[in-house]
Amino acid sequence: MESVLAAWQVATLGGIVSWIMISSCLNVTQKLRSLLQPWVTHYVIIGTAFILQIQKYQHKFLDSLFSGLSCVVSVPFYTGFLPLVFWSGHVKLARHMTLLMAFCDYLGNTIKDTVSAPRPSCPPVRRVTATKDEKENALEYGLPSSHTLNTVCLAGIYLGMHSLVDIIAGLALGLAVLAFWLTVHEYVDNFIISGHNVLSFWSALSFLLLFAYPTPELPTPSFEFHTAFNGVALGIVAGVHLTYYQFHHEAAPVIFSPQLSIPAFVGRILVGMPTILLVKFCSKALAKWIVPVISNTLGIPIKSTSYIPMLNAPVKGKESDKIKQSSYAQKLFFFSGQDIFDVDTGIRFLQYAGLAWSVVDLAPSVFAHLRL
C-alpha cells in the first residue's frame, strides 16, 4: 500500500516538474495569451457600457456596502476569520475552507496572469478603491474575477473592478472548482490526517507550485497573493497532520457546547490572536536571515524588492519587477540571463507558513495549557 502511495506522489510531483520544463521550453504561457487575450479584451471593452449603466446608481451607501462585501473575500479577512473557525471547534470545516481557498487562489491567479486581460478602463468606468487591499487588487488582471470565484457574488461590477466576462468566467470556474472539490475533499482530508510522506510531499508540492506559476505580461501582485496562500496551506497541513489526535479530531469541543463556552472562546481569541501575530513577526524575521544565507551558500545571486533593502540589485523600475516575476522555471532547471532571485518570495512563503502552523498547532497547545 505504501508503495502505491509513494508512486502517486512521485507521479504527481514528476508531472509538475515535466510541465514546468515543457511549458518553459515551448513558451506555452505566451502562446495561450496570444490566443485568449484578444478575445477577452474585446468582451471587456464591449461590456463597459453595461458597467456604466450600473454605476449610474452611484451612492455613498452603495460604495460603502460593496466595498465592505469585497473586503469579506480579501486576504486580511481570511487571515482573521479562518483562525476563528478553527478555534470554534469546526476544525474539519476550517481546514477544508483553507485548502479550497488556496486552490481557488492558485487556479484563479494562474489564469489571470496567463491571459493577462485588462480590467474595465478607468475612466470612463469609476473604480472604487476605498481600502489599501482594494488598491492592490486593482493592480491585478481581470479574468477571472477572484471575488466571484470565491464567493459567487456580483459586488465587483459596481466597484468597476471587473467586466461582465470576468464575472461569468469566475462563476463558471467557481462552480467547476466546487464540483471537483466535493469529489476529492474526503481523499485529501484522509491523506492529511493519516497519509504517508505528508510533510515531505506537501513541502515539495508547495515549492514546485511556486515555479509552475506563469509569468504575467506585466508585473502584478497576484504571485504574492499565491505565495502567501501557498504558505498557509503548507502550515495548515503540517500542523493538522502532527496534532490531529490532540486538537483536530471529530470529537473536538465545539462552541456553544459545555466543553467550549462563549467565555472560553473569547479567551481563545484574546490569547490566540496575539500569539499568531507574534509568530508571523518572528517567522518573517527568521526567514529574512535564513533565505539569504541559504541562497548565498548555494551561490545564487539574490535581490529583495521590499523586505531587505540592502540586497537591492542596481536594477530599477519595470526591469526590476520583470526580474522578480520572470522565468522561474528556467531559473530552476537552467540559469537564464536573468539569474537574480528575489528572496521576498521565500520570506513571504515561510512567514505565512509559520502563521498558519501557529493557528492549528501552537495556539491550541497554549489553549490546552490554559484550559481554554
- Positions annotated as catalytic residues are 147, 162
Rounded to an integer, what distance in angstroms lies between the CA atom of residue 229 and that of residue 353? 9
Rounded to an integer, what distance in angstroms lies between the CA atom of residue 309 and that of residue 372? 42
The residues that bridge with 341 in the sheet, in sequence order, are: 302
Spell out the alpha helix ranges (H) of the chain.
2-25, 28-46, 48-55, 60-71, 75-87, 91-115, 132-137, 146-151, 155-158, 164-194, 198-212, 222-243, 262-297, 317-325, 328-333, 344-357, 363-370
Half-sphere exposure of 358 (CA within 13 A, CB side): 20
Rounded to an integer, what distance in angstroms lies between the CA atom of residue 51 and that of residue 121? 11
- Closest of 272, 366, 347 to residue 82, by C-alpha: 272
